[in-house]
Chain A
Amino acid sequence: MSSHREAPEISKDPVADSTDVYAFVSPDRPDTVTLIANYIPLQGPAGGPNFYSFGDDVLYEIHIDNDGDGQDNITYAFQFQTRLRDPNTFLYNTGPILSLDSPNWNSRQFYNVTRIEHGTSVMIGENLPCPPCNIGPLSTPHYATLANEAVHQIANGIKVFAGQRAEGFYVDLGSIFDLANLRPFEELHAQYGMHVFSKPADGVNATAQLNVHTIALQIPTSELLRPGRHGESDPASVIGVWTTASRQQVTLWDDRRGENVNSGPFRQVSRLGNPLFNEVLVPLGSKDLWNSLPPTDDKRFASYVAHPELAGLLPALYPGVFPNLEALVKAGTARADLEAILLTGIPSGIVKGFQNYTGPEQADMLRLNTAIKPTEHPNALGVIGGDLAGFPNGRRVFDDVVTIELRAIAGVTVPLVDKSYRPDAAAALVTDGLTANSVPGGYLSHFPYLGVPHSGFSTPS
């Protein structure tokens, strides 16, 4: 998955587990940038009576680097508080929830938003209500309208939303983690001699019926950039974005109070910039360490980008399908294409009319050139599909990051840095068989862009 349950320790701590980060120029407000960080993976919509909520004991942050050093210049921090109207009922709600202050809604959540810049914290949103989870037609009969009430206009022209949304990331988990048995090509898989599959099949979107919890900001672009010229070719137009979740260092079960008590400084337990970075590139024994580190430490992990394990597996799992990739791997050639895409950004002169280079500092950040305006007819394959407004120029909610990264690792982006390399024909075709149309509810054309969450009544877990 993008980063759902990607590391052993964080997989046991869903409320602090980041799943996806998106950063894009807002298509309906192109003078703004939308930043989204999703948490709490794989939510079954019917997961009551304690429906999903953010962690009151988690510090969520979205970081922006605007000068290319891999350190945040601006951070938006979120802290949540759950309040029960009546602790003497087991019910999440005692009747229909028709407004965010409904007396029928028992377990509500509120949050503060703080902007941190140059070491100064300013609270820009206080006591903002989240929407409830989407329970069903009796409890949340007008869900879309209700959730819209939870889009708040706060200081500095910023919109903010925090609450449940439909999962917009699509991936065939079942096939990918069954030894990369991509269904559209499963007859070509070595199958370990078992001959189980003899013809191609369609991909299956494992997240199609699931929800996530979203933190979304829509911010005037001028709030995020450093001073300078802000044309498409100007370095000052590029920002790096990532999210972190932190917990206080000590958690102790207080058996007298019947709850955890927390103490000590906040320590980072989850991090996410580019999709699949920690999930697919960083080895199992280092994933939780990676989660605890800042992007400036990513040079320690650069060898996993330059020599990705999956690039070596593809020729072995699909014999005869990736001969050029196999030769590249055997030659020990460092993947400068992947290093550029994931760790530094793509310099000018590589892709015509495009750059999102932040300098030589190797750091996993989602890099967005804010001067590149949204395309009228987007291509979910982003830059490799000729659409410079999509991944890896930031990431839009519908971008097909699984296919893009599979193809990149399979070698389709090597010619960006080595014109003599000819990618295997299969490299431009490899996919898990899904597209943005695999997301049943689709997406919104406006903030917060991710679709209305699936209801528990109509989508039982």
Chain B
Amino acid sequence: MSAQSHPEPAEGPSRRSMLRGAGAVGAVGIAAAVGVGAASGAATAATRPAADNRAAGGAEHSAGPAGAPLVVYLRDAASGELDIFSGTSHTVLRDPALVARLTHAVR
């Protein structure tokens, strides 16, 4: 397993694809919401906030507080990459083993 922080993609998942992905679990796309604590052992990817992420009045980039929802989006199982969303941050994690376990779990 290798955890790696990637540059923000030029065009991240669209709102439409995210909404669709969050609502449907399939062979290619998986969205999962779990507690931060539950995922803490999976990887140690550094959180990289998006460049245009700014929440008015607060910290400009923040992971969710402990216990806040964390959403994992698997856009393309073949890539081995997971998009992880928490608070107002987006982290890209490369973890083929975890991807394999997730795809196996929904078969």
Asked if residues A252 and B31 are in contact (CB atoms below 8 Å), the reply is: yes
Question: In the complex, what residues of B have CB within 8 A of residue A248's CB?
Answer: 85, 88
A123 interface neighbour in B18, B57, B73, B87, Cβ under 8 Å: B57
**Interface extent on B, as a size class?**
20 to 34
B104: CB under 8 A from chain A? no
Q: Are A263 and B57 in contact (CB under 8 A)?
A: no
B53 at the interface (CB under 8 A from A): yes
State A251–B85 Cα separation when bound (angstroms).
10
- Determine if B99 is an interface residue (Cβ-Cβ < 8 Å): no
CA distance A62 to B80 in the complex (A): 39
Which partner residue on chain B sits nearest A124 by CB separation?
Answer: B57
- Stretch of A18-26, A145-153, A265-273 at the chain-chain interface: A265-273
Within 8 A of A (CB), among B36-57: 49-50, 52-57
Q: Kindly state whether residue B3 has any CB partner on chain A within 8 Å.
A: no
Q: Which residues of A contact B61 (CB under 8 A)?
A: 265
| Docked-complex contact A265 and B49, CB < 8 angstroms | yes
Residue of A nearest to B53 (CB): A265
Choose among A114, A251, A263 the residue that contacts B70 (Cβ–Cβ < 8 A): A263
**A-B CB contacts (within 8 Å), total count:** 96
Chain B residues positioned under 8 Å from A190 (CB to CB): none
A264: Cβ under 8 A from any B Cβ: yes
B77 at the A interface (CB under 8 A): no
Q: How far is the CB of A162 from chain B (nearest CB, A)?
A: 13
* B90 and A114 form a contact (CB under 8 A): no
Taking A79-B56, A249-B12, A292-B14 as contacts, is the C-beta distance between A254 and B33 under 8 angstroms? Answer: yes
Q: Which of A78, A252, A266 contacts B52 (CB 8 A)?
A: A266
CB of A405, distance to nearest CB on chain B (Å): 29
Known: A252-B69, A292-B14. Is A263-B64 also a contact (CB below 8 A)?
yes
Contact check, A264 vs B90: say whether CB atoms are below 8 A apart: yes
Contact of A249 among B13, B64, B68, B70 (CB under 8 A): B13
- In the complex, the answer to whether A59 meets B52 with C-beta atoms within 8 Å is no
Distance, CA A373 to CA B56, complexed state (A): 33
Do A264 and B85 touch (CB < 8 A)? Answer: yes
Question: Does A361 touch B at the CB level, under 8 Å?
Answer: no
Q: Does A261 contact B (CB under 8 A)?
A: yes
Could you mark each residue 373-393 of chain A with 1 if its beta carbon is under 8 Å from any beta carbon of chain B, else 0? Answer: 000000000000000000000
Query: Which residues of B pack against A, CB within 8 Å?
Result: 12-16, 18-19, 22-23, 31, 33, 49-50, 52-57, 60-61, 64, 68-71, 73, 85-90
A-B contact pairs, 30 of them (CB 8 A): A77-B57, A79-B55, A79-B56, A79-B57, A112-B57, A114-B56, A121-B56, A121-B57, A249-B18, A250-B18, A250-B85, A252-B31, A252-B69, A253-B22, A253-B23, A254-B69, A261-B33, A263-B33, A264-B18, A264-B85, A265-B12, A265-B88, A265-B89, A265-B90, A266-B52, A266-B53, A266-B54, A267-B50, A268-B52, A269-B15
